[in-house]
Chain A
Amino acid sequence: MINRRTTLRWLAAAPVASGLAAAVGLAAEPAVREIRISAKKFEFTPSSVTARVGEPVMLLLSSEDRIHGFKMPDFNLRTDIVPGVVTAVQLTPDRAGSFSYFCDIFCGDGHEDMGGTMLVEG
């Protein structure tokens, strides 16, 4: 599922996922739930995902067309999403609620609507 290219991209993303979202070795944590999110102008699919407080999840981000950004300010997460590369970022939500994610690299008329929501249950 996760090839060398993915891992390299994940390593590159780890520093920006520091703080509340910490990256861990994939081989050492096989049980981490994966959430795949695909980006294209001007939407994320899915635009709504769920997680639980304290449950680590691995966001696997990909792009179908051009470079996009992925930003979740509430968890201090941001990374580029480059076509042809799966970007993996681990997140362990520490609180319940509804948290937005959005593209932060301007991508055209509709960019402002390109977002989604993570619902974190307690």
Chain B
Amino acid sequence: MQTGYDRREFLRLGGIAGVAFASGLFPAAGGAQAQGSDFHFVQFSDTHWGYTGPANPDAAHTLEKAVETVNGLAAQPDFIVFTGDLTHTTDDPKERRARLKRFKEIVSALRVKDVRFMPGEHDASLDRGEAYKEFFGAPNYTFDHKGVHFIALDNVSDPAARVGDEQLAWLAADLKQRKPEDRIVVMTHRPLFDLYPSWDWATADGAKVMELLMPYRNVVVFYGHIHQEHHHVTGHIAHHAAQSLVFPLPAPGSQPRRAPLPFDAATPYRGLGTRDVAVGVASSYALKELPVAKA
């Protein structure tokens, strides 16, 4: 394998609840095997560059440390994805662009140069993605890598958290070109299912996206927004939320309000990190949560 995980480690991950997801847990509905793959990528999410506040007194340096950690991985990923909220929101369009610019400079230090971005509501909802697009281009796109079809969906440029009819039509047209057994990875910012609507942890028309994806047997979704590791299955489709790099949020419904978990100076990076996703053969995905900094 090129992933840096040997079979023993994969099995060890499999023994830890919540960190390894294999085809045995989410079998292909039709019994057909997806095309084989063997690579890994890293997911960053919710970096919120520009945040200042008590929930993370080190916010100005957390992203840089995570970049350093990922650069230190023995096996560098094939590519890196950022699933939104690259910057913390601001009402000032000039400051928004300054934050996007600085964010881009910081992540340009990543050793891996194949980096894919998508916006979060903090980047794009106040100007419908205008500034974001100046720096990173289209907020929705597709690409293929070693037999896996990746789809980046934008559910934040509309401030009401809608994917929208136009993008739904674009998605439907793209999916029409896929076979039912093709491997498809969807990347987006907000959950595409109603994770916890009382905290607005949902996408307004996420059900329409899921309806389009359902006929495909090998689909998995990676997203951010909720600032914590979370795993959910809709039918045969798994959804994996990533930790943030600014502050962790509470488990859904675990407290009256979705306020950031308080900063703990003894464990300053608790609940923060990035994620390595090993894409194995036969529809397996091994997830390994990476700390912000090496212990």
Which A residues fall within an 8 A CB radius of B?
69, 71, 73-74, 80, 100, 102, 104-109, 111-113, 115
Contacts and interface: CB of A to CB of B under 8 A. Distances in A.
A112 B197 contact: no
B90 A109 contact: yes
16 contacts: A73-B197, A73-B198, A100-B198, A102-B199, A104-B200, A105-B159, A106-B89, A106-B125, A106-B126, A106-B159, A108-B89, A108-B126, A109-B88, A109-B90, A109-B91, A113-B257
B258 A105 contact: no
B160 A69 contact: yes
A104 B160 contact: yes
A16 B91 CA distance: 30
Main SS at interface, chain A: mixed
Contacts of A111: 89
A87 B161 CA distance: 21
A109 B197 contact: no
Contact of B198 (A74, A107, A108, A112): A74
Please name the 8 residue pairs, one residue from A and one from B, whose CB atoms are nearest each other, closest first. Answer: A106-B125, A73-B197, A106-B159, A106-B121, A105-B159, A100-B198, A109-B89, A105-B160
Given A104-B200, A106-B125, A112 B159 contact: no
User: Counting chain A CB atoms within 10 Å of each CB, which of B125, B156, B259 scores highest?
Assistant: B125
A119 to B, nearest CB: 13
A71 B200 contact: yes
Which interface class (under 10, 10 to 19, 20 to 34, 35 or more) fits B? 10 to 19
Interface string B80-120: 00000000111100000000000000000000000000000
A71 B201 CA distance: 12
A107 B204 CA distance: 16
Contacts of B259: 113
B257 A115 contact: yes
Contacts of B121: 106
A107 B161 CA distance: 12
A109 B96 CA distance: 12
Given A69-B160, A115-B257, A108 B91 contact: yes
User: Counting chain A CB atoms within 10 Å of each CB, which of B90, B198, B257 scores highest?
Assistant: B198
A109 B91 CA distance: 8
Given A104-B161, A111-B89, 19 more contacts: A71-B200, A100-B198, A102-B198, A102-B200, A104-B160, A106-B121, A106-B125, A106-B126, A106-B159, A106-B161, A107-B126, A108-B89, A108-B91, A108-B126, A109-B89, A109-B90, A109-B91, A113-B257, A115-B257
A113 B258 CA distance: 8
Nearest to A71: B200
Nearest to A114: B200
Contacts of B197: 71, 73
A84 B248 CA distance: 38
Interface in B210-262: 257-259
Nearest to A69: B160
A108 B258 CA distance: 16
A113 B125 CA distance: 16
Contacts of B198: 73-74, 100, 102
A99 to B, nearest CB: 8
User: Counting chain A CB atoms within 10 Å of each CB, which of B125, B126, B198, B200 scores highest?
Assistant: B200
Contacts of A100: 198
A100 B200 CA distance: 11
A104 B89 CA distance: 16
Contacts of B200: 71, 102, 104, 112
Given A104-B160, A104-B161, A106-B121, A112 B126 contact: no
A73 B257 CA distance: 15
A61 to B, nearest CB: 16
Contacts of A74: 198
